[in-house]
A = this chain, B = another copy of it.
Amino acid sequence: LITIAVDAMGGDFAPLEVIKGCLEGARQFQAGLIFCGPQEVIRAELEKYDTCGIKIEVVHTEEYLVEGEQPAYALRTKRKASVVLAIKAVKEGRADAMLGFGPTGGIMAAAVTQLGTLEGISRPVVGGQFLGLAPQTMVMDLGGNLDCRPDQLLDFAIVGTIYARKLMNIENPRVALLNVGWEEGKGNEQIKAAYPLLKASGLNFVGNIEGNDVPAGKAHVVICDGFVGNVMVKYSEGLGTAIASWLKQELGGKLQGAEIEKIGQKLLRLTVPADTSGGGPVWAVNGVVFKGHGRSRAPEIAVTVGKARQVVESDVLGALKTELARVKSNMPGLSAQEG
């Protein structure tokens, strides 16, 4: 049985939907739960459900992060914030994974402070599948790291390879650099410097791809600076939404209202990231921390419990450590650079 520590107070519909969804998920995926937050609130919620047979612990705290706070600042004053206590449970070995639906910045900051990053990686990485139309493609980074050094892009490629192997079941994922042209030697200074690192990495590096190759699924792991990734994923959401509303107009009078509505909803699911995936791991911290989407409700939250369990059971963290060591041992120049 694995145990998941949950920040009961993080997320748009916390604590009600978080507690409800985690209970559903715990039953479905056979996990124990540690809820962190104000105990009277949590216990009152727990009483509403049949919790028989689910191992539940409550860790009490009155402190938690609030949407809109600057996470680093808030964590300095709220040392017992629910997100911190949940991650501490992982650190102290009382939980196998932490699950949170609160602000990304808060989860990442708390994870780095409590768990630290894996050897050779200075900051956690954010990325994942984001486009339903290209389900075999993940992008890294999606906004966690701006102004990346070239060796950080190599880190993204290592992490992305493990992500694709373990969570997308692609044994030898194709890794590509997102660029303005496919030829070697093209691009900005960052990409031109990252290219030889990837080429020497021993990963399945297929070279540069361009923006149009991403929805076409040309690579499994698309590597870019978090600034570029963030603009792209949000642009994708914006374009999907714009096309869906254009389509409703266009199909008006040609199909029945309910059918049009269904096609529109389907298109949004295929293009809007929040509707495609249930969140993802915070990568490269020394422990399993899973960030779920803030707007998740109980059914999505239950699914996320299953995903967090998968990350633990498939030993993603161990595989990542091994791959990091393998790549970096072949590239002695890098360790010095990062020292």
Task: Give chain A's interface residues, CB within 8 Å of chain B.
Answer: 131, 133-134, 143, 146-147, 178, 180, 187-189, 191, 210-216, 224-228, 230-243, 246-247, 250-251, 254-255, 259, 263, 266-267, 270-271
Contact = CB atoms under 8 A, between A and B. Distances in A.
B227 A215 contact: no
10 contacts: A180-B231, A210-B234, A212-B234, A212-B235, A212-B237, A216-B238, A216-B242, A227-B228, A228-B228, A250-B263
A123 to B, nearest CB: 14
A197 to B, nearest CB: 18
Contacts of A259: 254
Nearest to A244: B243
A231 B267 contact: no
Contacts of A233: 211
A218 to B, nearest CB: 9
A146 B243 contact: no
A17 to B, nearest CB: 25
Copies of this protein chain in the complex: 2
Contacts of A239: 131, 133, 215, 236, 239-240, 271
Nearest to A218: B238
A239 B216 CA distance: 8
Contacts of A270: 243, 246
B188 A211 contact: no
Q: Is the interface of A mostly helix, strand, loop or mixed?
A: helix
A70 to B, nearest CB: 10
A180 B236 contact: no
B266 A238 contact: no
Nearest to A188: B146
B214 A235 contact: yes
Given A188-B227, A224-B231, 4 more contacts: A133-B246, A143-B180, A210-B230, A250-B266
Contact of A227 (B180, B216, B247): B180
A237 B211 contact: yes
Nearest to A263: B250
A177 to B, nearest CB: 11
Contacts of A224: 231
B241 A243 contact: no
A225 B226 CA distance: 14
B232 A231 contact: yes
Contacts of A134: 242
A235 B236 contact: yes
